[in-house]
Amino acid sequence: MERRLAAIVAADVVGYSRLMGEDEAETLAALKAHREELIAPKETQYHGRTIKLMGDGSLMEFGSVVDAVAFAVEVQSAMQERNADVPEERRIVYRMGINLGDIIADRDDIYGDGVNVAARLESLAEPGGICVHRNVRNQVRDKLDLVFEDLGQVKVKNIARPMRVFRIPIDDRAAALVTPVRTAPVRSHPRKQWVIVATFTAGLAALVGLYLWWPLMPNIEPASVERIAYPLPDKPSIAVLPFINMSGDAEQEYFADGITEDLITDLSKLSGLFVIARNSSFSYKDRQVKVRQVAEELGVRYVLEGSIRRVGDQIRVNAQLVNAMTGGHLWADRYDDHLDNIFNLQDRMTKKIFTALALKLTAGEEELLGRKETSNIEAYDAFLKGWEFYRRWTPDDFQKAIPYFQKAIELDPQYGRAYAAIASIYTESYQNAWDWSHVVGISAEAMPGLAGQYLKEALKNPTPLAHQVASKWYIILLYSDESIAEAARAIALDPNDSVGYAAMATALIYAGRPGEATDFVNKAIRFDPHNRAHYLFTLGLAYFGMDQFQKAVSVFERAFKLNPRLGLVQRAYLTAAYVHLGEEDKALAEINRREIKDVRELYDLYVKYEGAYYKNPDDSSRLIDALKRIEYISDK
């Protein structure tokens, strides 16, 4: 990946959608003829190269701005002749824009404002015309005998400053520059001919595919810095919106969600990137939202969105990366592949994204990105089906998830994340006192042991999830140092994962170090701002542990306001905080409002579970004594 100065030519076909709609075969045949007989030879003559074909357009790079302008003038002049005998409604007519600017080059692709400006200049050109930036005119006016008509300062969408734009008329001066088309001799070579045919076929497929995709790209309105809810991080920041399931089959929703989440997970491993957590990104699922809104609400500069279509074993993924601050597209692409290549496809997308953002990876990050949790496609598919239920976070859905995770393990006995998911289910169910004995014969008391069995296997091929679960599991066992160490390992593997920071905060609170927990909670909230109720409870827990009961009550109440369905754990702490403040009436009102019929049951629950997790007896007493007090008052 490098930066360099280059002349960029952006071109598109005027009325392409209409032409394709009227006669797709004729339009593609005409495009092929112009490409082979005119554009490609002239591109070679002037030492240019096509970077990408974008549906109705193309992006080209030239080492010399004089060559770029000469190429564009020759093509536009020749197209007038080629269209002379074609009915006006069937003519292929190009617009062209030329810019000289700094670009970021990565192998076969280029990015940056230099490219974006060329695209905006192209949109200003009239059919059959050419628009250039002032810097192009300045470089070329004494070298090519052309007319440059000054269009003045032009403000274009998604470019911060007005541009001085010039138009090049395709007149007699332009025609005088035209040279004969030089076609290089072609040697007969069966394999080379096959390669040419295959290359053209792939390019044609890209044209047709992007023709279907490009109209879906919205007109992006830039985000307002004044309306951004959080300060932008000092490094590139991104939110990945849930990819739309275009399969026509609602049962494939799990697959689209799983691919999106894995993309978030891969990007989260990069220390040079700030990535919004899955929960907050998925809060926009099935909603019509603008990129500007997402950026302003989550406090990010970039937004990635796309769609996934799966038919049998064939997959099509469309994606675009948008700079929400300018509204410009940094990168857009389409991928067609077989399900067996899904992991390779994910890698290609991830690399395109961090290349577009000019990120540099450490050796450790390159290794992490190259490491896959499983190479078994069937196991991966089974895991994603289970993960759909797991994410709903209810006892019934947990029970539905387990068979899928077990199937994934049967297909790949080394699938660490599948083991970790089952360990998480048993750990969370135990902490929430969900007794499954009446359903599957598993009592709450048996769950820590089951969690430990699966966790042991998960840590043989560790993932952030495995370390997060291990941190909670060690809390149950009162191994506070080990709990903190496991949370640190989770953060090291995924420095953008809000769950890892929340795990560390929880571990510190139960270890008797609540003052150190608040920073970790605030980091979790920043990575996952739409999931604040859960993190606010953890923050309230830290204040409770520091005897700052007024702050604890304030935070707990905010958490309940955001999510009235928070469970008995949160209710018990809010009740206890009221007691410590001497506000027994509010404590009783809280119990009555929450329809807790038996205070004794609440007390027993927390003596057995929550109170047992604290390393220091005084921390346990802070909760238990308050519950004893409210039990006594309620019995009077």
pLDDT tens per residue, range 216-238: 444 467 888 788 898 899 889 99
Q: Return the structure tokens found at 596.
A: 């807790």
Q: Is residue 257 part of a domain?
A: yes
- Token pair 């810097």 in the structure block, residue: 135
Instruction: Tell me which residue of 523, 521, 562, 525 sits closest to 544, measured CA to CA.
Output: 521
Q: Is residue 482 part of a domain?
A: no
In a domain, 471, yes or no: no
Q: Rounded to an integer, what distance in angstroms lies between the CA atom of residue 273 and that of residue 235?
A: 6
Q: How many domains does the chain have?
A: 4
Go through the chain and tell me how many residues it has: 636
Q: 341 with 429, same domain? A: no
Please tell me the distance from the alpha carbon of residue 407 to that of residue 243, in angstroms, as a whole number.
26
Q: From CA 434, how far away is CA 442, in angstroms rounded?
A: 10
Q: Report phi then psi at 338, rounded to 5.
A: -90, 150
Distances (CA, A) of 549 to 258, 282, 414, 544, 559: 41, 33, 47, 5, 15
CA distances to 252, 434, 465 from 400, in Å: 17, 15, 19
Q: Which residue has the higher pLDDT, 39 or 186?
A: 39
CA distance 374 to 268: 19
Note the pLDDT tens digit of each residue in 321-352.
988 888 887 888 888 888 888 888 888 888 88
pLDDT surpasses 90 at 133 = yes
Among 370, 404, 428, give the residue marking a domain's end. Answer: 370
User: What CA–CA distance (Å, rounded) separates 555 from 537?
Assistant: 7
Indicate if 319 and 234 belong to the same structural domain: yes
> DSSP code of 39?
I
Predicted confidence at residue 352, as pLDDT, reads 85
Q: How far is CA 165 from CA 82, 113, 120, 122, 149, in A?
A: 28, 16, 10, 11, 9
pLDDT, residue 192, reads: 44
Are 535 and 608 found together in one domain? yes
pLDDT band at 531 (very low <50, low <70, confident <90, very high): confident
Top pLDDT among 405 and 322 is at 405
Q: What average pLDDT does this structure show over 534-558?
A: 94
The answer to whether residue 489 sits within a structural domain is no
CA 618 to CA 346: how far, in whole Å? 50
Supply the pLDDT for residue 163.
Answer: 87
pLDDT in tens, 176-213: 888 887 654 433 344 444 444 444 444 444 444 444 44
- Return the pLDDT at 201: 46
Is the CB of residue 95 less than 8 Å from the CB of residue 122?
A: yes
Question: So what's the pLDDT on residue 183?
Answer: 54
What are 147's two structure tokens? 């007319």
Mean pLDDT along residues 516-539: 93
Asked if residue 286 and residue 148 are part of one domain, the reply reads no
Does 538 share its domain with 614? yes
Mean pLDDT of 120-147: 90
Name the maximum alpha-carbon separation found in the chain. Answer: 104
Are 103 and 82 within one domain?
yes
Confidence of residue 628 (pLDDT cuts 50, 70, 90): confident
User: What tens digit of pLDDT does each residue of 277-293 get?
Assistant: 998 999 998 887 888 99
Amino acid of residue 528: D
C-alpha span between 398 and 392 (Å, rounded): 8
The torsion angle over the Cα atoms of residues 288, 293, 298 and 299, rounded to 10 degrees, is: 160
CA distance 3 to 12: 26
The angle at the Cα of 66, spanning 63 to 71, to the nearest 5 degrees, equals: 90
Each residue of 458-469: pLDDT tens digit? Answer: 999 999 999 999
pLDDT of 209 reads 46
**pLDDT band, residue 9 (cuts 50/70/90):** very high
Domain that holds residue 78: 2-202
- Angle (CA) 346-347-349 rounded to 5° is 65
Give percent of the chain with pLDDT exceeding 90: 38
Q: What is the CATH number of the domain that holds 58?
A: 3.30.70.1230
Last residue of a domain, one of 322, 337, 370: 370
22: how many CB neighbours lie within 10 A of its CB?
12
Which has more pLDDT, 17 or 406?
Answer: 406
> What per-residue confidence (pLDDT) applies to 610?
55
Question: What is the pLDDT confidence band of residue 107, given thresholds at 50, 70 and 90?
Answer: low
Residues 49 and 150 in one domain: yes
Amino acid occupying residue 510? Y
Shared domain check, 508 and 401? no
Find the helix or strand (DSSP H, E) in which 337 lies: strand 328-338
Assess contact for 97 and 9: CB atoms under 8 A.
yes
Same domain, residue pair 325 and 230 = yes
Is residue 142 domain-shared with residue 178, that is, in the same domain?
A: yes
Within a domain: 211? no
Domain harbouring 574, CATH code: 1.25.40.10
Better-scored residue on pLDDT, 44 or 439: 44
Confidence at residue 607, expressed as pLDDT on a 0 to 100 scale: 56
Under the banding of pLDDT at 50, 70 and 90, the label for residue 498 is very high
**Quick one: pLDDT band at residue 33, thresholds 50, 70, 90?**
confident
Which region among 232-246, 380-394, 422-436 has the lowest average model confidence (pLDDT)?
422-436
3-state secondary structure of 302: strand
Q: What is the pLDDT of residue 556?
A: 92
Is residue 431, in this structure, part of any structural domain at all? yes
- Report yes or no on 263 lying in a domain: yes
Rounded to the nearest angstrom, the gap between the alpha carbon of residue 630 and the centroid of all alpha carbons in its chain is 47
Q: In the structure encoding, which two tokens stand for residue 479, read together?
A: 């191994």
Q: Is residue 289 part of a domain?
A: yes
State the average pLDDT for the chain: 83
Residues 6+ apart with CB under 8 A from 308: 243, 244, 245, 246, 247, 252, 255, 256, 259, 315, 316, 317
CATH of the domain at 265: 3.40.50.10610
In Å, what is the CA distance from 318 to each residue of 145, 307, 341? 43, 5, 16
Given 326, 348, 370, which residue is the final one in a domain? 370
> Distance between CA 358 and CA 575 in Å, rounded?
51
* Angle subtended by helix axes 599-608 and 568-580, to nearest 10: 100
- Nearest to 421, CA basis, from 466, 488, 376, 366: 466
Phi, psi of 334 (to 5 degrees): -130, 140
Together in a domain, 107 and 249 = no
Does residue 508 sit in the same domain as residue 571? yes
Q: Given this model, what pLDDT does residue 208 score?
A: 44
